[in-house]
C-alpha cells in the first residue's frame, strides 16, 4: 500500500499538494462508492430483507453532501482564487487548435489547473442532479443502484479521481506511534509475517483516522449525515480486513499460539462491533430531523469504532512487546479494566434508579428511570455483549409508552432482575478478578426468573 500523490507528474502538484487533502478525497470517493451498495448501508435485518420497498431519497441527500464536500476539497487543491484562473485557462485551451511541442511545455501548469477545474465542474454537475433527486417523492432501489453506477462509473473514469479508487493511501502516523510500531515489528523475525502484520497495523490506523474524520463531520448539523458515507466505507474495509486475516495471516501462525488467539479475537470483535454500529446505532439516522439526536447516534457509533480500533492495535502490539503503553499510543484510550469498572458502576446506578421508581412509582421517578436508561444506552451499553442490547431496547421502548406510572411496576421488577444478573456476569470478567464489587446488595437473590444475560 504505497503512499503516492495524485497528479504527481504535473508541475502544479509536484511539491505543493497537501497529503491530507488527498487522503480525505480518497475516503469520500470510496465512501460514496460503498454507499451505493446495499450491503454497506446502515439497515436493520428487517429493512435489509425488505430493501426493495424502501424509499432512498434520504440516501441520495447524503451522497449529495459527500459530492459537494469533494468539490470543496478539490478547490482547495487549486488554491484560493485559482478556480477562476483555471476556468479561464480551460476556455483558452479550447480555443487553440493542436499546439506545437514548445507551446505544450509552456502551458503544462495551465493544463493541470484546467484538468482539476474539469473535476470541480463534474462534481458540481453531480451535486445539482443529486439535489434534484433528493426532493422527489419516492426513489426505488433499482433507480438508486442505477444512479450509483452512473455517478461512481463517471468518477472512476476521470484520469485524476480514478487513481484514488484504485490505490490505498496510508494514514500519517505521529512520531510516538511510529516508534512504538517499529519496536513491535522489529521483534518479528519472519519477513513474510512482518510484512503481513505491517499491512494489518496500517489498516487499523487507517480505520482510526476515518473515525477522526467522522468526528470532524458531525460537529456541524449541516454536515453530520455526511459521516454515514464513512461508516459505509468502514464496513467494507473491515470486511476486507477480516478476510485478509483469515486467508493471509492466520495460516502463517500455529494454532493455539498467543498471536493466533489475538487474531481470532480481533476478527470476532471487529465483526460484532461493526454489526452493532450498522444494524443498531445508525439505523434510521438518515431519516432523523432532530440535530441533537443525529449527533448523539453518530457520536456513539464513532466511539464504538474508535474503541474497537484502539483496542485491536494495542492487543496486537502487546502480543509482541508487552511494554507497549496503550495510553502512550492513544492518550484517550480506556483499558478493558476501566471500561468494565465503568460498566458495572453504571449498571448498579440503574439498579438504584429502578428501585427508587418501584418505591414511589410517580411520573418524576419514571422520567428519571427513562433518562437513566437512555443515558446508559448512549454510553456504557457499548461495552456489553451485542446479545444484551435488544433487551435494553425493549425495556426502553416499554417504559417510554404513554401509560400511568404505576402500570410499569411489574416491568421495573423484571428490569431490576435483569440488571442484577448483568452485574454478576460483568463481575466475572477476568480483568475484574482483583476488583470485587463492594455493593453486596447486587448479589441479593431477587424474585422471579432473570432473563438470560451475557457478559
Q: What is the pLDDT of residues 271-320, one digit of tens each?
A: 989 998 999 889 999 999 999 889 989 998 998 899 899 888 888 888 87
**Cα(81)–Cα(139) distance, rounded to whole angstroms?**
38
**Residue of 136, 109, 121, 113 whose CA lies nearest to 55:** 136
Distance CA 322, CA 331 (A): 18
Do the Cβ atoms of 64 and 144 come closer than 8 Å?
A: no
pLDDT of residue 451: 42
pLDDT in the model for residue 381: 83
Task: Confirm if 7 and 160 have CB atoms less than 8 A apart.
Answer: yes
How distant, in Å, are the alpha carbons of 328, 361, 422, 448 from that of 454? 32, 29, 7, 18
**Are the C-beta atoms of 420 and 451 separated by less than 8 Å?**
no
By CB atoms closer than 10 A (0-12, 13-18, 19+), residue 58 is middle
pLDDT of amino acid 60: 97
Residue 356: count other Cβ atoms within 10 Å of its Cβ: 16
Q: How far is CA 197 from the centre of its chain?
A: 22
Q: Where are the domains of the chain?
A: 16-94+112-166, 183-333, 337-432
Alpha carbon 32 to its chain's center: 14
- Residue 85: the pLDDT is 40
Give the separation between CA 248 and CA 255, rounded to whole angstroms: 14
List the one residue out of 418, 423, 410, 412 whose CA is nearest residue 452.
Answer: 418
Please give the C-alpha separations between residue 325 and each of 105, 183, 340, in angstroms, as whole numbers: 54, 12, 19
Q: Give CA–CA dist 311/288, Å, rounded.
A: 31
Q: Which residues does 150 contact at the CB level (< 8 Å), separation at least 6?
A: none
- In this prediction, residue 165 carries a pLDDT of 87
Q: What is the pLDDT of residue 233?
A: 97
Cα gap 417→412, rounded to integer Å: 9
**Per-residue pLDDT, 175:** 65
Tell me if 120 sits within 8 A of 68, measured CB to CB. Answer: no
Which stretches in the chain have pLDDT values below 50? 1-17, 80-81, 83-93, 95-110, 440-455
- CA-closest candidate to residue 27, choices 69, 82, 77: 69
d(CA 403, CA 346): 27
- Model confidence, pTM: 0.74
Quickly list H helices, 52-174. 57-78, 82-95, 101-106, 108-133, 141-157, 162-166
Neighbours of 155 (CB within 10 A): 22
The candidate with the shortest Cα–Cα distance to 31, out of 76, 62, 4, is 62
Q: What is the pLDDT of residue 89?
A: 41
CB atoms within 10 A of CB 98: 6
Amino acid at each position: 500500500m504505497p503512499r503516492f500523490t495524485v497528479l504527481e507528474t504535473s508541475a502544479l502538484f509536484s511539491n505543493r499538494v497537501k497529503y491530507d487533502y488527498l487522503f480525505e478525497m480518497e475516503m469520500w470517493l470510496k465512501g460514496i462508492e460503498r454507499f451505493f451498495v446495499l450491503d454497506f448501508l446502515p439497515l436493520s435485518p428487517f429493512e435489509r430483507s425488505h430493501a426493495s420497498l424502501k424509499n432512498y431519497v434520504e440516501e441520495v441527500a447524503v451522497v449529495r453532501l459527500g459530492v459537494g464536500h469533494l468539490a470543496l476539497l478539490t478547490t482547495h487543491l487549486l488554491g484560493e482564487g485559482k478556480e477562476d484562473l483555471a476556468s479561464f485557462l480551460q476556455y483558452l485551451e479550447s480555443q487553440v487548435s493542436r499546439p506545437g511541442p514548445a507551446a505544450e511545455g509552456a502551458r503544462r501548469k495551465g493544463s493541470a489547473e484546467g484538468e482539476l477545474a474539469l473535476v470541480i465542474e463534474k462534481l458540481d454537475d453531480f451535486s445539482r442532479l443529486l439535489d434534484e433527486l433528493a426532493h422527489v417523492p419516492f426513489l426505488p432501489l433499482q433507480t438508486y443502484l442505477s444512479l450509483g453506477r452512473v455517478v461512481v462509473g463517471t468518477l472512476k473514469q476521470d484520469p485524476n479521481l480514478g487513481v484514488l479508487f484504485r490505490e490505498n493511501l496510508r494514514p500519517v502516523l505521529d512520531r510516538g506511534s511510529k516508534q512504538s510500531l517499529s519496536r513491535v515489528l522489529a521483534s518479528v523475525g519472519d519477513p513474510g509475517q512482518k510484512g503481513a502484520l505491517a499491512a494489518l497495523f496500517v489498516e487499523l490506523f487507517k480505520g482510526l483516522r476515518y473515525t477522526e474524520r467522522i468526528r470532524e463531520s458531525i460537529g456541524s448539523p449541516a454536515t453530520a449525515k455526511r459521516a454515514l458515507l464513512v461508516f459505509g466505507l468502514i464496513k467494507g474495509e473491515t470486511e476486507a480486513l477480516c478476510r485478509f486475516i483469515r486467508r493471509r495471516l492466520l495460516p502463517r501462525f500455529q494454532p493455539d499460539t498467543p498471536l493466533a488467539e489475538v487474531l481470532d479475537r480481533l476478527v470476532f470483535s471487529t465483526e460484532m462491533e461493526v454489526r452493532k454500529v450498522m444494524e443498531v446505532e445508525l439505523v434510521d439516522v438518515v431519516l432523523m430531523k432532530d440535530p441533537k439526536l443525529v449527533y448523539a447516534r453518530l457520536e456513539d457509533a464513532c466511539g464504538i469504532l474508535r474503541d474497537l480500533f484502539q483496542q485491536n492495535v494495542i492487543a496486537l502490539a502487546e502480543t509482541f512487546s508487552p511494554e507497549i503503553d496503550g495510553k502512550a499510543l492513544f492518550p484517550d484510550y480506556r483499558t478493558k479494566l476501566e471500561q468494565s469498572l465503568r460498566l458495572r458502576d453504571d449498571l448498579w446506578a440503574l439498579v438504584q434508579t429502578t428501585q427508587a421508581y418501584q418505591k414511589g412509582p410517580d411520573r418524576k421517578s419514571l422520567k428519571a428511570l427513562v433518562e437513566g436508561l437512555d443515558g446508559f444506552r448512549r454510553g456504557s451499553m457499548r461495552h456489553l455483549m451485542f446479545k444484551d442490547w435488544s433487551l435494553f431496547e425493549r425495556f426502553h421502548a416499554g417504559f417510554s409508552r404513554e401509560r400511568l406510572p404505576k402500570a410499569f411496576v411489574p416491568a421495573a421488577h423484571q428490569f431490576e432482575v435483569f440488571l442484577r444478573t448483568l452485574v454478576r456476569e460483568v463481575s466475572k470478567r477476568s480483568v475484574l478478578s482483583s476488583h470485587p464489587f463492594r455493593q453486596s446488595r447486587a448479589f441479593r437473590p431477587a424474585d422471579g426468573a432473570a432473563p438470560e444475560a451475557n457478559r
